[in-house]
């Protein structure tokens, strides 16, 4: 029984260890994908055989503020050599927050055979495992995806406003400074992105990284996560929950924790997040 299976997660199968990945480097039915905030990391060295999915270039529409459409997703998956039945394993920097973001986008298109490498790039490097600068080339595939489904795991601003008016729970996963309205961006980053600071009324502040063991980037066990999200935040497993941050990337990490590790059945990510809410005319804001 692996360490992951001992942590009490609702869906331990969505996580794989660095050891598992090391054993499947040559598995033709597994595609390893690196997704980072820092675009310089992948070319400086990555897991052998891993392809890169860049969140700006590959996952977002180049003009509208939205994600790629079905055709764009099919082209992406074809280019990186993925078939619909292939297992994809995502990992990256920043304790896998961008990997979880990519995972969330992939779920909009129904690629459920997806996993996160627990500990991400940090753990792989700390263990001294092999890295390469060689960019793999895989034969293009004929990937067919369903239309993007935004109805189950994505929330839009009007839905969030209705959520607030109904008194339903929201989790703001940003830093306490952002939550209090003292900053408009993460600490150590430029202040930009919204005209107003604060948080959505009724939202509780649980910074996303609290779900992570800081020493190796792995996820905390389920009992510790329940203390944070149920004990402190007062969220019940049966609740209809919306999570948000600044552009939806940090909150996708919390969405992953609540949905897969704790098994909450109804969690949506508001990817418009504070860059939309903090710029909207007339919506309520608290500080």
In DSSP notation, 66-114 reads SB--HHHHHHHHHHTT--TTSEEEEE-SGGGHHHHHHHHHHHHTT---E
Angle (nearest 5°) at CA 8 between 123 and 24 = 40
Count CA within 13 A, CB hemisphere, residue 286: 10
Tokens (6 digits) for 122:
């940090």
Contact 42, 61 (CB under 8 A): no
H or E segment to which residue 144 belongs: none
In DSSP notation, 129-171 reads ---B-PPP---------PPP--TTTB--HHHHHHHHHTT--EE
Is 245 considered catalytic here? yes
Contact 11, 260 (CB under 8 A): yes
Q: Which residue in 21, 53, 245, 262 is the catalytic one?
A: 245
What is the C-alpha to C-alpha distance for residues 2 and 56, in angstroms, rounded to an integer?
35
In DSSP notation, 205-254 reads E--GGGGB-TTT-PBPPHHHHHIIIIIIT---TTS-EEEE-SSSHHHHHH
Residues belonging to the chain? 287
What is the widest separation between alpha-carbon atoms in the chain? 54
Contact 211, 225 (CB under 8 A): yes
Number of H helices, E strands in the chain: 11, 9
Question: Catalytic residue positions?
Answer: 245
């Amino acid at each position: 029984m692996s360490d992951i299976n001992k942590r009490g997660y609702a869906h331990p199968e969505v996580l794989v260890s660095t050891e598992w990945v090391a054993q499947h480097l040559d598995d033709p039915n597994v595609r390893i994908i690196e997704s980072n905030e820092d675009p310089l990391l992948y070319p400086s060295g990555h897991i052998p055989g891993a392809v890169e999915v860049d969140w700006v270039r590959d996952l977002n529409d180049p003009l509208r503020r939205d994600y790629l459409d079905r055709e764009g997703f099919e082209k992406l998956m074809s280019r990186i050599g993925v078939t619909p039945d292939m297992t994809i394993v995502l990992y990256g920097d920043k304790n896998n927050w961008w990997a979880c973001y990519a995972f969330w986008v992939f779920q909009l298109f129904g690629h459920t055979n997806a996993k996160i490498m627990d500990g991400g790039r940090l753990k792989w490097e700390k263990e001294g495992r092999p890295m390469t600068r060689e960019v793999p080339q895989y034969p293009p595939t004929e990937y067919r995806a369903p239309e993007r489904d935004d109805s189950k795991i994505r929330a839009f601003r009007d839905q969030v406003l209705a959520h607030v008016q109904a008194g339903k729970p929201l989790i703001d996963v940003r830093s306490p400074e952002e939550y209090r309205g003292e900053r408009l961006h993460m600490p150590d980053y430029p202040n930009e992105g919204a005209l107003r600071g604060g948080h959505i009324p009724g939202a509780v502040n649980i910074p996303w990284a609290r779900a992570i063991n800081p020493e190796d980037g792995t996820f905390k066990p389920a009992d510790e996560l329940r203390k944070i999200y149920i004990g402190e935040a007062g969220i019940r497993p049966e609740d209809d929950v919306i999570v948000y941050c600044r552009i939806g990337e940090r909150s996708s990490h919390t969405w992953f924790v609540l949905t897969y590790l704790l098994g909450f059945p109804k969690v949506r990510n508001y990817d418009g997040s504070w860059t939309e809410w903090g710029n909207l005319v007339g919506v309520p804001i608290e500080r």
